[in-house]
Structure 1
Amino acid sequence: MEYRTKEEQVADYLRERIISGVYPRGSRLKQAEIAEQLHLSITPVREALKLLAAEGYVSGDSYRGARVVPFDAGASAEILQLRLLLESQLVRGAMEKITTEHMAGLRALADEFANAFSTGDRASARGVNYRFHRYFYDIAEMPQTLHFVQILWARYPFDVINSATDRGKDAVREHEEILQAVSAGDTSTAMLAMRKHIESGWGVLKAMSE
C-alpha cells in the first residue's frame, strides 16, 4: 500500500466495506464520519469518493452526498463472463511474479478468511475475501486490468452471494485449491481454480434466485 496515495488507500478501504456489506447498498456515505474513522482530513475522503463514483461503487457526489449503488441483477451474467476473462489474466500475470513473501501473504489472508467464517463473523470474512483477491491481483502489476476488474466488482452482488449458509465453507476450500496450484507453480491449474471459484459463487446466486 505504500506506493498508493491517501486517496487510493481510502478508496480501497471503502471498496472493501462496500463489497463486504458493511456499507449496505443504498446507504449514504458521510465523508466527515469516514475522515474521523481514518484520522484523515476531508480532502482525501472527498477525492476517494470521486474515484468510487467513476468506478460505479457510489452515486452522487461528495458535496450533495454519495450513496452506495444498488445491485443491478440484469447485468450479472455479462459481468460474470468479463470477470472470468480479466481475472484469469491477472492470475496468469501474478504467477509470473509471485515470490515466497507473496505466497506467505496469501496464506495469511486465506487463514484469516477461514477463521472469520469459523467464528461466524461473516462481515469480516467478506472483507478478508476482498483483500485476498486484491492482494493476489496486485502481484500481477497490471493496473489497467485491475482497474476494470474493480469496476466489475462494483456491479457484482458479493454481499448477496456470501450471505448463503454454505458459501463460506465452499470458499475456504476453493481458496485452498487456488493456493495449492500457486504453490506448485502450476499456472493453468491456478487459472482454472480461480475460474471455478468465481463460477461457484455465481452458482450460489442462481440457486438463491430460483
Structure 2
Amino acid sequence: MDLRHQTKEERVADYLREGIISGRFPRGSKLKQAELAEMIGTSITPVREAIKLLEAEGFVLGSSHRGAVVAPFDMNATEEIVDLRVTLESKLALAAIRRLTPETIRELRELQGEIETAAAKGDRDAVRVVNYRFHETIYMAADLPETLRFVRILWARYPFDLINKLENRIERASSEHREMLAAIIARDEAALLSALRVHIRAGWDEFKAEYTG
C-alpha cells in the first residue's frame, strides 16, 4: 500500500481503523487520545483529527473531550450492509485489477502467505489484521477514493470480530483469499468478482446461521 501521499492524521486513522477491525481495540472500548499518541509515537493533534475521521466513518462514537468509544455492532443493519459491500467492493476490485502493478501483486502474495501461516497456527487476530491489509491493498489500487470511503463506512458496521470467532472460519477465509489472488494474478475479472462475492457473503451467512440458530 502506498502511504507516501497520506497525511499524518490519515496514517493514524488507518492504524486505528485496522486496530478496530482486527480487534486490537474491542467494541465498546474507550480510545484515549494521550495513550494512543504515546503508543503511536506522535502528538495528540493527529490522533484527535484521526478520531474525527473515524467518527465520520462510523468506527467510533463521540470524539468530544470526553473521549471516543469504538462503535457497537448492530445485527439488524448487517444484511443490507453485506449487499452494499458486495456492490461497492466489486466496483473497487474491478477497477483495481486493471491497475495492479507487479510490485503490488508481490505484496498481495506476501500477505496471502501471512494469512495462510496465521491460519495454520490458529492465530485469529493475525488473520484479521492481514485480511484488512489484503483488501485495503487491492482497493487502494483502484484509485476510487470516494467509493473506498463508503466501503470503510460499511466496514465500521460489519461484525468482523464475531465472524472471526466461528470455528474454522479463518481457514476458510484463507482459502477464499487464495481464490481471489489467483484471479488477480490471471487478470481474470469474472473470477475475481465471483471469488470476492463468495468471500463477503460466506462469513456473514455462516455467522447469521449460528447467531440465530
Match of 2:159 among 142, 157, 160: 157
- Shift in Å, 1:117: 2.1
Q: What are the Cα deviations for residues 69-121 of structure 1, in whole angstroms up to 9, with x where unaligned?
A: 11011000000110000000001000110111111011111111111222232
* Distance in structure 2 (CA, Å) of the matches to 1:129 and 1:182: 16
Give the gaps of 5 or more residues in structure 2. none
Alignment match, 2:199: 197
Alignment match, 1:76: 78
* Distance in structure 2 (CA, Å) of the matches to 1:129 and 1:60: 27
Determine helix, strand or coil for the equivalent of 2:175.
helix
Determine helix, strand or coil for the equivalent of 2:4.
coil
* Distance in structure 2 (CA, Å) of the matches to 1:59 and 1:179: 35
What amino acid does structure 1 have at the position aligned with 2:42? L
RMSD: 0.9
TM-score, length-scaled by structure 2 = 0.96
Alignment match, 1:208: 210
Match of 1:30 among 29, 32, 37: 32
- Tell me which stretches of 4 or more aligned residues in structure 1 moved more than 2 Å: none
Determine helix, strand or coil for the equivalent of 1:133.
helix
**Structure 1 position 177 matched with structure 2 position 179:** yes
What amino acid does structure 2 have at the position aligned with 1:187? E
Q: What are the Cα deviations for residues 142-171 of structure 1, in whole angstroms up to 9, with x where unaligned?
A: 000000000000000000001112101101
Alignment match, 2:62: 60
Alignment match, 1:143: 145
**Structure 1 position 9 matched with structure 2 position 11:** yes
Q: Is the 8 A contact 1:49 1:62 kept in 2?
A: no
* Distance in structure 2 (CA, Å) of the matches to 1:16 and 1:169: 20
Give the fraction of aligned pairs with identical amino acids, expressed as a percent: 53
What amino acid does structure 1 have at the position aligned with 2:158? Y
* Distance in structure 2 (CA, Å) of the matches to 1:94 and 1:62: 37
Q: What are the Cα deviations for residues 111-139 of structure 1, in whole angstroms up to 9, with x where unaligned?
A: 11111222232112211110110011001
